[in-house]
Each structure stands twice: as structure tokens, then as C-alpha cells.
Structure 1
């Protein structure tokens, strides 16, 4: 299960480079064999997707497949999400005010039917994405794309937005064959949300320029990809990829016995224990877990007291919480996970001080405070969230705080969380694209998540709000990264969010494969970069 920022539990984020990207002769970062493909790669994962239409998709499984079928202007290579690399665009430039971005398309790039990729295809795809008004559309709000000529695309932003190049690497911004999809009901008009009829076609046929095309999509069972014989870049190592729907327990059993080309995408936490040493394990800490407190005294006189939040922050055993996540777990630092630019560095891990917690409670006039604590009763990335909540309860008890745990089905949890009436709770958070922008917007005072905590003033709102404004005003990656650090320190000092721990996304590969690397870029693993071990 992947929780993202438009649901309360997660968010996937990004920023971008402002210097021109040098041209490359082939697909950036895809290290498959350049010879003909002859074998099959098996990918085991618990399916989370509704569609394979790039403009409408937003779930993990869909993104894995879409990244292989649809090239975007830029991309990220391997585990690196620091700087977008060339893909359909061989280079780009950014204006000093971060409002105008000019992309030059590479020559020779074609769609799977041999049609050249043009600037008009790019403009159509980005307009359609915005006008479909799907889950990803909000990230592209305020952007306008125009075709200067057949190989030049200019994207302008209403506000300074150094994140634009990163957005151009998202699976949602994959470029469609304009002429082909319009024949099957696609439109980029302002009424696309109701007028576009291409989803049914795109769920059964690819219309991109990526290294793979869609052979078969059987929802709930498997997605089968085959190599694109007209691919303009480096050919992938495998002629077919079969993405199979499989629960985590069976993924572990299968990988324990795997000898052929096979990878698993959902083994983490305790499920990594006991795996053969011959398997490769790639991880990046791209998820944080945090507790939230309601700042409205009408909801809770306890959680609305800023000194209670500070006491809780001092009471938590951070290394002990991190240990619950097993391999891949990390001690809490900040709201930006360690995998992303702008994260707090080593040495800024939060520390426990039970005596300080007791002193803060006394200063707050809270004697043996009690507060309800809601959480989704699910296992997320191999860890039962009830185990995490129980650990928080025990840590708080050591300081004299009574946490009343209320496990809820996910739907019920989301309803209470969104309703702004939960005194206290906990959720994991992952970014929608690899930058801090969206998390700063939604979690700062006045943001969507902050509103659920009724947080617009007090509780450190002035300092956090000022740091957020500094972040959003920055016009370069470097400046935004510095501002993200300042913002997180302000949030750690005094806010209604309590960092608990970080955890990793994981890709496990059989002894037969190479390049099975987990990426925090949003698509989990680049299927075309998985190679054959010689």
C-alpha cells in the first residue's frame, strides 16, 4: 500500500537543477544489454494501481510499468535523485527567475510505431495531464507548455518554480503519441476531465516511446510488457517483463527459491530476515513516520498545549523506534526523508530526554495527561503500525503520559484524520516526487495537512511559516535545499508534528540479475536498467 500526500498519509516530492543538462547519446542510466533481448524478467509485487493511463495513474504498480513504457523529457538514473538527466530532451535551460524552462528534444527519438517524437506531442501530453484533473495534475498547476518549433518546448510557470525539471521526470509526464491516442478518444482540451475517452485504450495498449510496450494487462493478476523493437535508445536486457500480483509472504517464499531472473518490490522490515545471502538487496530511506497533534482546544486540551508536544518529543526513544523497522530503518531527523535533497544530515538525529519531558509537562500544568492516539491498523512496508504505536505508548508512559491507542481500518482512519477531530495520531509519509516542495506546502501552517491539525497560528506557526515562505521563494535547487533544512529545524523545535523514524523502500533481486536498484524517484525500479548477470 502506498500512501501519498493527497490522501493524508504520504506525499512524494521534488526540486530541480537550473543549469543546462548535457546531451547524451542514449537513454540515461539504463544499463541493459545493447544486444537483442531473449529472456523474461519476473517482477513480484502486491498490485496497487487503477489504470495505465499516464495522465490518470498515481499508484505504485502503475508507475513501475509506466516508467518502462513512456519516456518523459528528463529522468533520474539508478538511486540518484539529485539531478534530472536527459531523456527525450537532450538538454534544457532555465531562466534566472525560475519561470521559463526551454527543452531541446533529441533527434531520432520515436514512438513504438516509428512516429517521431515532436514538441507538439509533448505539449499535448502535458495539457492533457493538467486538464484531466487527476491526482497528479495539481503538481503541474500554473505551468504552460508551448512548442517553439518541432524540437523545442518552452514551459513557463506563473511563480518561480525550480521544481519544473523534476516534474518532467515523473511517470505522469510521460509523453504520448498524440496522433495515435486522439484516434482512440484522447483530448487535451479544457474539458478533458469529461471528454477524454482514451483510458480504456491505454489500459490495453501503450502509446509511448519507452523501451517496453504493453503486451497484456490483466488487472489483479499480471501486467506483461515486451521489448519495443523500435526503441530509439539502448535496448533492454529482457525481451519480456511479467509483473505479477503476489502477496508479501509469497514474495519472500518465491525469492528464497529464485534462480532465474526475478525481483520482488515489497520485501522490507521483518520480511528481509532469513533471505539467502545470494540475493541482492537495494534500499533507500524514503519514508518517514510521524505523529500529529490537534491544536484546537475544543478537540483536546492536552494535544493543543504546545508544551505537551515538546514533552512528547523529548519522551520518544528514537533509536528504539528505528529498530522496529529492521534493516532499512533509521533514527528520526526531519520531515524530508534521508533519500531526498534537503534532508537533515547525520548528527541531527532526535534524542530522548525523559526528565526534560517530565519538566515540560509540569510547566504546562499537565498532571498525568491522557490523549487518544489513532492509527491505521495496517502493515506498511513489512511493519505492523500497531507495533510502532505501542512503542510510542510505552515511551510516553515513562514520562507520565497516558496514550490511549485506537486502531482503525484505513478508511475510518482517513475519515477521522481529514475531519480535523482526531486529538493525536500517526501515519507514514512518502513523497510523490523527489523534492521537498509538496511537503512544505501541505504541512506548513495553512497547508492541507496543517488544516487537519487546525494549525494556522501559535504552536511555532510564525517560525515555520517564515521558513516555508523562504523555501518557496528560492529559485535554485541549492537555495531550496538550504531552506528545507531551516524549515525542518523549525518544525522539529515547535510544531504539531512529532518525527518517529524513517524506513526504506526495497528491491530484492535474484542471483541472475544485475542493476535491480530501488529508486526514490517514484517508479520503484527502472525495469530497463535490470540486466543479466554474466
Structure 2
């Protein structure tokens, strides 16, 4: 059943959240148990949390967007087509006919101009993503211009059009209904306070209910310009405890549990519940600070790649949470390099060190976040590296302590992870393959600078060339080449890519969970 009467939806929402009736959820209503207390903001110009990203993606559209049919392919959104003028550094978007906001207002070119300019004017957390295009509060009015049903976007900088398109497909580039938003402006906030509790989008769902740390209810947009939604409503129930999520799923009170632990996943025996695993964008790595003399020999870097017990960890302590991946751009997106040539081989590692004349043993401190699975991973590395004479002293600390030390370049070895700010390969290439100024006073939020690795000039040049390369296929080939080079010869040993497991009723299908929270889609769900 695609559409359910509002009376039934109201009944579902009215169920006491702690004592919901022990029965199957209604047809047409997807009920999700999830920890949603991370939400700080829901305005696309401010939203920067995981759950916020999921909601924005399902409520708003962008000119071009990654979508449920294929989260790896940039597809038309509110724009049906676009023309790129590389010489003028501009892209002209033609809006599709008939798209409407949830209010019933038509989607206009003026709404696009307002939405993008609004992000820059408000200058909240995610504004830096759009500001990369050279936009400022003073010039954005000239850089984003409407003409009839077209919008021309101009950018400053030597960027590949593919990079610009990925920036425009990011969360803060979501299009809001100017008329509705400005009706709810208070004290010049451009509707920010109102949008953090309400929605004004054109996406497959509208947000009907939001009670912090309690519930979010999304209702199907029957006038959506693409297929679906196939359910009438999605209800996100805040359930903080993973054990409670599992119990509710097994009792039939929810259709999906989003935050189960690996132990709970492995304990599920019911044929009525399926578990799906989705690769995520974060990559996990071990890195060596090049301020530590004993860690500067490339032979140490090479040997390290054979001293990680990749399969041992993925088959035990990180089972279901990570998969083997040895390149800086995550699998599942254009430009990824998915070859994994390194395996645990301590004899090979010992031979590499011996042939290079490396003096052993090497004693090195390893900083790690003091929580599972990171401390377990550190202990695995400690045991496997000792096989070749590299002795780790594990230094556990809070996330803040570890990251602060990393930013100050005062660590020796570091076990951490990295995720892109937006889904373009340059976001990670700049972090792993670029460092043109390695001086202490040139702080950079990259793994290369933080590990004091002076990246070879050739690699720096290729990274910047890929950013400006106009041909999309050639550009992706350049990023693959960069990944191969970093994989073969750098003090950063990329080991794993995060995975995310979701348990759901066996009758649920069509759920899509891409590599980031911005790529969680409910539009094609059926039950």
C-alpha cells in the first residue's frame, strides 16, 4: 500500500515511545530505531551532524545530486540539464519544469539564488564548502544569477568542472523555498531558527514532526518528480540503547535498527531479520611522524605494510565494522582504487628491513583513541609489528587529546581515521597526497602535514593538476595514480574502510545507505 490515511499515521506517532504496542508496524509506515540525539541543526545552511545529513538528503533537493538509484552517479536534481563554460568558469543550469516545494510553491530560479547566497550570508559551519568557489557575502550576488528558468553559477579558481559540480551537490547546496523561509524570518536570521525545527524543501519527504531526542517523522511528497516514495511515512524513533533497538526489532515494534553493535548483529538468529552491510567513506590508517628519525626510512614504511594483520582484524575485532581497503579514496565512488596488494607477511617485512640495513629494534609510541575498537586494533598492531622488531608503546587518550597531539605534530605513530568533507576525490587527495610547505608554522588540516611528510614535488603537482583537469575520465585516472603512489611509498599506511551494518525486518527492501550520512535514502523503500 503506497498511501495510508492520516488518521493511521497520527495513531502511530501517538504511541508512547517507551511502551509501544507489541505488534507489527503498520503497512506503509517505516519505523526506524536510531540514536538521533546528535542533531544540532536541520537548516541545510547549518546542518553538520550525521542524522541531520540524513534528514536533509530526504527532505531537500540540489541542482544536481547523488540519488537513491545509484549513489555513485551524479544525476540531475532540480536542474534537468547544465552547460559548462570552462573558459568563463561558469555553469548554467536549466531547471526542470513542474518541480514544487512542499508548500505548493513552484521551484524558481530565484529560490536557487536565494538558497546558495543564504549559505554564504549566514556563514555557518558548512559554508566553507561553497566558499571554496571564491564566494563571499560581498560578491555572491554576482556569482549566482537567475535568468528565467536558468541559473548561472560562476566560480573563481582553477578548478575542474567536476570538482565544482561535486561542491554544488553537497549538503549546504540544498535548495529551500524562499517565500516560506522568509515568512518565518526573525530578527534577520533568514529563517534559520524556523528551519531548525521545520522544513521548506522539495524532496521526496517533508518533515512533519521533530521533537529533539525523541522523534522525527517524514511524510511522503506525493508530487515528487521522481519515482516514489513507496512508503507513506518514515518515523525515526530515538532509541539510545543498542540493546533496546534490538529488542524492539525482534518484537516487531520497529522495522529497522540502525545502531546495533557487532556482538548484537552476530547474536541475531531470527529468519525474520536481515542484516545489510554498507561501505562507508572513512578510511583508517597508521601513520609515522617524519620528525621521528627512526621512522623516516622508506624501508620502514614498506615493511609496515606487511606487518598489519588485515584479515586477522577484519575476521575478529573489527568484523562488520571495517573492511580491507588500502587507498585514500573510499571504495564505491568514482576514482577509487580498490586493489589490496599487501597482506600480513612478517618474514617479508623482516627481509625488507634487513636489506635496507635498518637498525633494530625500533621503539616507537603509538597514540590511539581510548575506546573500542581502536585500542584492540592497537594491540593487534603491537603484536604483529613486534615480529619484525618494531616495538609499539601504546598511548591511549581521549579523542580530543589524540587529535590535539596530532595537530601539533608531537606524536611518533598515530592510529586514526579520515573522512571527506564532500564527495570529490580532491577532498582526500589534498589530505594524503599534497604538502607543498612542510614548515611548522604552516598549519594544514591534512594527514601529510600533521605527519611532517614533505610530499615529493611531482606528487604535489599531480594533485593540483587533477583539481584543474577538465576531462572527467582523465581526472579520475589521475586520482587513481595518486592513490597507487601513496599506497606504495608514503609514511601513511591505509588499512581499512569503515563499514556500517543495519538490521531490518526481512519484508523491508529498497533501503539505500551510501558511503556518508548524506547518502541515506528512504525514497525507494517498500515493506
- TM above 0.5: yes
The alpha carbon displacement at 1:420 in A equals 1.8
Could you report, residue by residue, the CA deviation over 1:329-348 in whole angstroms, capped at 9, with x for unpaired residues?
Answer: 422321112122211134x4
- SS of the residue aligned with 1:273? helix
| Distance of 1:506 and 1:273 partners within structure 2 | 11
Matched, 1:117 2:112: no
Q: Which residue of 2 aligns with 1:85?
A: 75
| 1:34–1:236 Cα contact (<8 Å) kept | no
Task: Name the residue aligned to 1:180.
Answer: 180
1:408-450 CA deviation, whole Å, 9 max, x = no partner?
Answer: 1122222222222111111123333333110112233325214
Contact kept? 1:81, 1:434, Cα under 8 Å: no
Task: Compute the TM-score of the two structures, normalised by the length of structure 1.
Answer: 0.82
- Does residue 526 in structure 1 map to residue 521 in structure 2? yes
What is the match of residue 171 of structure 2? 171
Q: 1:507, 1:475 → 2: CA distance?
A: 38
Question: Which residue, 479, 496, 501 being the options, matches 1:484?
Answer: 479
Match of 2:242 in 1: 249
Shift of 1:290: 0.5
Deviations along 1:80-106, one digit per CA (max 9) or x if unpaired, are 333212221122233356932221111
Structure 1 pair 157–291 and aligned structure 2 pair: CA distance change class (3 A): same
Q: Is the 8 A contact 2:113 2:146 kept in 1?
A: no
Partner of 2:424: 435
RMSD: 2.8
C-alpha distance in 2 between matches for 1:435 and 1:525: 18
Please give the secondary structure, in 1, of the residue aligned with 2:198: coil
Q: Could you say what secondary structure the match of 1:467 adopts?
A: helix
- Segments of structure 1 that go 5 or more residues without pairing to the other structure are 1-31, 188-194
Q: What is the alpha-carbon distance in structure 2 between the residues aligned to residue 98 and residue 370 of structure 1?
A: 55
- Shift of the 93–82 alpha-carbon distance from structure 1 to 2, 3 Å rule, reads farther
- Contact 2:328–2:429 (8 Å) recurs in 1: no
Deviations 1:236-256 (A, max 9, x none): 233332212223623652365
Counterparts of 1:254 and 1:467, CA distance in 2:
52
For the 8 Å contact 2:510–2:526, the answer to whether it is kept is yes
In the other structure, the counterpart of 2:149 is: 151
The yes-or-no answer on 1:322 pairing with 2:314 is: yes
Alpha-carbon distance in 1 for matches of 2:78, 2:451: 44
**Cα gap change, 1:95 to 1:319, in 2 (>3 Å):** farther
* Equivalent in 442, 455, 462 of residue 452 of structure 2: 455
Q: Paired residue for 1:142, among 118, 133, 144?
A: 133
Output one character per residue of 1:381-402: Cα deviation in whole Å (capped at 9) or x when no partner: xxx2111111111111111111
Confirm or deny: 8 A CA contact 1:279 1:511 kept in the other structure.
yes
**C-alpha distance in 2, partners of 1:295/1:142?**
33
The equivalent position to 2:343 in structure 1, one of 340, 346, 351, is 351
Q: Is the 8 A contact 1:262 1:510 kept in 2?
A: yes
Equivalent position of 1:262 in the other structure: 255
Return closer, same or farther for 1:349/1:284 CA change in 2, 3 Å cut-off: farther
Give the match for residue 282 of structure 1.
276
- Whether the 8 Å CA contact 1:310–1:494 is kept in 2: the answer is yes
8 A Cα contact 1:112 1:229, kept in partner = no
- Matching of residue 389 in structure 1 with residue 387 in structure 2: no
Query: How many angstroms apart in 2 are the aligned matches of 1:182 and 1:367?
Result: 67
Q: Aligned-pair distance for 1:453?
A: 2.4
Determine helix, strand or coil for the equivalent of 1:127.
helix
- The answer for the alignment partner of 1:309 in structure 2 is 301
**Matched position secondary structure for 1:238:** coil
Q: What CA distance in whole angstroms lies between the structure 1 residues aligned with 2:324 and 2:248?
A: 29
Give the secondary structure class of the aligned counterpart of 1:154: strand
Partner of 1:103: 93
| 1:390–1:453 Cα change, 3 Å | same
Matched, 1:424 2:423: no
Count of paired positions: 484
